Structure 1
């Protein structure tokens, strides 16, 4: 590692630990469960060896958890006869995977230090490890979150930004959570990893408007490729396409390069070019990958502090799928 990169990583780690909320801090489990972060890291690492596609799921899981009710692991709770939980919202099911890996990490942690590590912190660690293991920066995660007891699918439907949002809608939705427009552009870079279901882009390809079948902002050659991968009228939930075809498993700035040539998969991706300000940010992230990675790590640390439960609020679940 070069001196410049080493100093950047050190500065990032110090920043992450000094700007967190007072109740969250780095090394939270140093005394109560010293192996906690390593247990999560090794569990994620083993899972990615079996299914490399999961790398995007843990990042998305953290985002989807924190945006709804805050970072309280509500995304992990199972539905009951009387309540449909977040994980069963159409925006999460069937596209979001990796819950069994979180279960495995929790089971190992319960053996190591029973009732100590929260499910919310496990998600935050898993997201960080996914970024690092796929080529992004390793950043320190301030911990100390506790788990919530409420999870409602309707809240996920109403809160999470859909792939059809335009720039104004995206900016407003992220601002409601305390993020700047530039941080929104940065967090959109998570789409450098993973896949999307064909059903999520079918309207963009075949039923964009009353006058146009295909979104004109989409590169025609790319649109043709997508139509071959996603046949018209197909409702097969297993049909997927890469969010960032050049490097779907590598955390890099390729996503922004895609957007610049009108190959952003979602309308919300291509919307980033709809203003001079955000277009300039897209260019900056595309040409300076090191800068993008640092900005993304900073934004993830901030994301992990959204409306957290700490101290006597919430609980430490014994099983991440059910309340105690």
Structure 2
């Protein structure tokens, strides 16, 4: 099937890496990055009325220009590349992104990591058990979606294990729906829930993010059995998931949509936030903050704070306000 996400374009580009007196032009193709392994980028592009994939490398100058990022190119990026004599590609240009989802790098890495670019919506997947729901992870994810103009959504997965946690799931579902977020409840043993997720993914490019073991890959295999991604069991020692997805990959779905399957992550650090602006990305705080006495109010200790008053009146949920304070503290410590 020919991809609707891009049109394969062959264009002439000015090679700006050369001195002006050695200016040259090169013939470039346009495609979309569908997988990134760190050193190689798999790019999908249209060639002679069909879709082809090519392995591309990135010149070192791009890495130097984007030293704050662990990955200067992300899955979902549109790029222009040339084809080398050995059949590999060389990326020459990276198009401006419509949007992207980003987090702080972990495992002692410096910089930030872009999880996916040019996406229509992003799901944070949480399992009912093994591992349990982490609300602060949800809230950090949603704040980042708000800040980087991505439509954030929530999936509570493994609903077949919900018997002991039904009250918590209903409470969180009602909470997030009340502040404007779409919430889906899924189980691979409930075909209706899988159909609801399929409909939500229809004709969109989406990304799923969650802790290892929440069942993202199992959901993906039920959404599109042709993909057949590898699934591993939960560790019996600590009930944490084992990584099955090593690199992010853009996968076609049977409903003309696309889904970025990402490796499981245990942290979601905020990127490029000032403490005073954090409340701008909590929808329920937008109106109360207008009543604050100080323009740079952090809604934690200042007198005359509209957000604190709304919290005390019960108009802002206690768990969301606690998430806000934890994030604020982490930003002030940076």
Q: Say yes or no: TM over 0.5.
A: no
With normalisation by structure 1, the TM-score equals: 0.26
Pick 1 or 2: higher relative contact order, CA cutoff 8 A, min separation 6.
1
Larger relative strand fraction = 2
When the two structures are superposed, what TM-score results if normalisation uses the length of structure 2? Answer: 0.25
